[in-house]
Amino acid sequence: MHKFCPFIRIENEGAVFVSYVFKNLKNFIHGERLIFIVAVVCIIASSFIVNFSYGLYYNYSVKITEAEIDTKDLDTSIAEGVTLTKGELQSYAETLDEKTLNGMTVIYAAARIPEFADEMTYGPMAMRFVIHNGRYGICEVTKENYERHGMISSGRYITNEEESAGSLCALMWGESEDSWNEAGEMIENPDGTVRLFGKDYKVVGTYRGGMGTPIVPFLTVPNDLVLSEIGFSFEKNITRSAYDDMVKKAELIVPGKIVFPELEFPDNDTIAVYNNMLSVSLVLSVISVANFALLFWFILQKRQRRLAIMRISGCTRLRAALMYLCECSLLVLPCYAVGAVLNILLCRYVFGKAFEYFAQAYSPKVYLTIFWVYAISFAVITLTMVIAAVRKTLTSSLKEAV
């Protein structure tokens, strides 16, 4: 006799196993049609909601991070009664997210320097730079303005390589290479270099206009130099993610030293709607899975007598558990596919129009990942119920079935 059933002789145990799985599913479909329909609806609904929720969450996340305000300049200032040094600004800037830094066109800082202490004649020394992809560079906007308006009177502007390497080079104020302002001449060395911050800088060019102070790479400025002004400008409108990044990093690196303007970002009502929709989607998904679990548990309870007979015939608990798990999988997988396809179709023709970033959320890899998360979650829930059902003693199973 075969150990699955005393009335069947068959050599291929695997075939018997598969036949019983399909037989159980067939009996479920024909014997409990209403429950079967409800179970199918629950699985399709939960599949659709899980896939839809991911797209909604992606759209929600992009909406939050890309919400922008109609300005490109962040008018920050140094708090009263505190000092902010060049070294502190450097440490702060280097902790900002790469996306934030790459979106900037200039990081601006200004400071009074001892060599140009005459505030009535000379302004503070201006430092303009960027940090793109982890490398320091010049402010291209400033360079273009100087060149376009003929402000370079001789030589050239500082290069990106010199800015990144912290090369000792300088752009001096002067009408020509031989005509500097008085302060510039005071710090000039006999060999044509200039003495600044205790270092000798090679003069690569002269400019006219502006503050009348030298222009040097930011990294060559002493870390203890006290700044008088700071500011940040972006290529595009400032986003919520960039603003939040700058504020949070400032609180961490230079607490209480940088004052940020209060910016009111739009789409707060839209974001609130997304919050509510995500909450509802999560609740519906949980309810759908729970309903299916309860329905399948009900079916298992109705099969206690059959399970007891199978156990008497030699079916082990493990094999019974695997049988029910396979049956559940045959029911769940096609229904999940229907829910996923429904989401794809609605994403293409409905959701993609209603939610700006919805279609961007999905890829084959994303669909596969969602499927595995869903499948593993269902397997855990189903296996838990099945194990609980098959662990009952034969006597208790027969009593419950009577």
Give the tens place of pLDDT for each residue, 198-219. Answer: 999 999 999 988 778 899 999 9
For residue 379, being part of any structural domain is answered with: yes
Mean of pLDDT values over 161-174: 94
273 within some domain = yes
DSSP string over 155-185: E-PPPHHHHHHT--EEEEEEEETTEE-HHHH
4 within a domain of the structure (yes/no): no
Share of the chain above pLDDT 90, in %: 36
In a domain, 3, yes or no: no
> Do both 132 and 101 map to the same domain?
yes
Same domain as 272, residue 255: no
Residue 376 within a domain: yes
Residue 146, pLDDT above cutoff 60: yes
Q: How far apart are CA 53 and CA 59, in angstroms?
A: 10
CA dihedral 7, 9, 14, 19 (to 10 degrees): -50
pLDDT at 51: 83
Residue 182: how many CB atoms within 10 A of its CB? 10
Q: For residue range 75-100, what is the model confidence (pLDDT) as tens digits?
A: 899 999 999 999 999 999 999 999 99
Q: Is residue 6 part of a domain?
A: no
Q: What share of the chain is helix, strand, coil (3-state, %, to 5)?
A: 55, 15, 25
Task: Tell me the whole-structure pTM to 2 decimals.
Answer: 0.55
> Does 23 or 198 have the greater pLDDT score?
198
**Cα R_g (the chain), whole angstroms:** 36
Range of the domain at 326: 13-65+268-401
Residue 401's pLDDT band, with cuts at 50, 70 and 90, is: very low
11 pLDDT more than 50? no
Average pLDDT rounded to a whole number, residues 33-42:
83
* Strands (E) located in 73-168: 73-74, 77-78, 104-111, 125-132, 135-138, 152-155
| Pair (272, 135) in one structural domain | no
Q: How confident is the model at residue 6 (pLDDT cuts 50, 70, 90)?
A: very low
How high does pLDDT run on average in the chain? 81
Q: What is the 8-class DSSP label of residue 79?
A: P
Q: Are strands 169-176 and 199-207 parallel, antiparallel or unpaired?
A: parallel
Helix, strand or coil for residue 108?
A: strand
| Mean pLDDT, residues 216-243 | 93
In terms of Cβ atoms closer than 10 Å to its own Cβ (0-12, 13-18, 19+), residue 387 is: middle
Higher confidence at residue 39 or residue 8?
A: 39
